[in-house]
Amino acid sequence: MPKPSAARKVTRVARTGGGRTKRGQTSWFFPTLIVVTALAGTFLIAFSRAERQPDTTRPRIGSDHWHAAIGFDICGTFAAPVPDNGQDPLGIHTHGDGIVHVHPFSSQSAGKNATLKVWFDTVGAKVTSTQIKLPNDEVTHKNGQKCGDKAANVITKVWDTRAPGDQGHIVPDPDAIKLRDQMLITIAFVPDGDPIPKPPSESQLDNLSDVGANATSTTVPDTSTTVPGATTTVPPTTTPTPTSAP
């Protein structure tokens, strides 16, 4: 039979959860450890589930066909839409309709890489936070130059949706804009404080030429080759553009 002093020690250890405490104090180490472990487990489970879910906020290769309206406001007047130069190396291009067409077929233009810079590079535009040089405009508009008698700067405004309540927001770097379906983008060269309207091509989002009944065929990047010694080349093929909702 244990001595009374030994029994008291056992009772005290059980009461404190095995930790050493001062007389009259309770150890919180083990309860805290249990709570932290449970929270960490819950977080890891939620993170694992999120990783398995497809990210529908970024365009995916072969499954998404998105469209964003874009316009260039130069001193209060919108420039003509950037023309289609027939180039589409990554799947982000224009049809000369004031629309950024996004259907990536490369990891360089899908997911987080689906930025407006890919479109600039494709159409031959040089646009940054300090200048605008469009392929159909011989003039380069740079910060500090004037619109009339006022100094102007490049200001980019984005509406993430077409919802009436979306008031839009200013972004510092147009190159880094991550493209979204039905997004509206106006890149303006105007004096500070001037209003920046939505791009006039917004209405074109309701009348797209490459979706639904209006879909047309798109030329696949030219992969024709000439056989040594031959006098003809194999012509590039065309494939129908997959149809999906705008």
* Residue-level pLDDT at 209: 75
Residue 16 resides in a domain: no
* Residue-level pLDDT at 239: 42
Q: Which domain holds residue 164?
A: 66-219
Per-residue pLDDT of the chain (246 residues; tens, 9 = 90+): 555 565 565 456 555 555 554 555 556 776 777 877 877 776 666 544 544 444 567 888 877 899 999 999 999 999 999 999 999 999 999 999 999 999 998 899 899 999 999 999 999 999 999 999 999 999 999 999 999 999 999 999 999 999 999 999 999 999 999 999 999 999 999 999 999 999 999 999 999 977 654 554 333 343 333 333 433 333 444 444 444 433
How long, in residues, is the chain? 246
Q: How many domains does the chain have?
A: 1
Q: Which contacts qualify for 135-138: CB closer than 8 Å, 24 or more apart?
A: 135/82, 135/83, 135/85, 136/79, 136/80, 136/82, 136/83, 137/74, 137/79
- Cβ density class 95-133: b for 16+ within 10 Å, e for less: bebbbbbbbbbeeebbeebbbbbbbbbbbebebbbeebb
Q: Report d(CA 141, CA 131) in Å as an integer.
A: 5
Residue 245 resides in a domain: no
Residue 225 resides in a domain: no
* Residue-level pLDDT at 14: 54
Residue 41 resides in a domain: no
- Cβ density class 203-214: b for 16+ within 10 Å, e for less: ebbeebebbeee
* Residue-level pLDDT at 38: 77
Half-sphere exposure of 138 (CA within 13 A, CB side): 0
Half-sphere exposure of 68 (CA within 13 A, CB side): 25
Residue 126 resides in a domain: yes
Residue 70 resides in a domain: yes
* Residue-level pLDDT at 63: 79
pTM: 0.66
Residue 189 resides in a domain: yes
Residue 25 resides in a domain: no
**Sign for the pseudo-dihedral over CA of 78, 119, 140, 147:** positive
In the DSSP assignment, the letter for residue 33 is H
Q: Report d(CA 79, CA 167) in Å as an integer.
A: 23
* Residue-level pLDDT at 62: 78
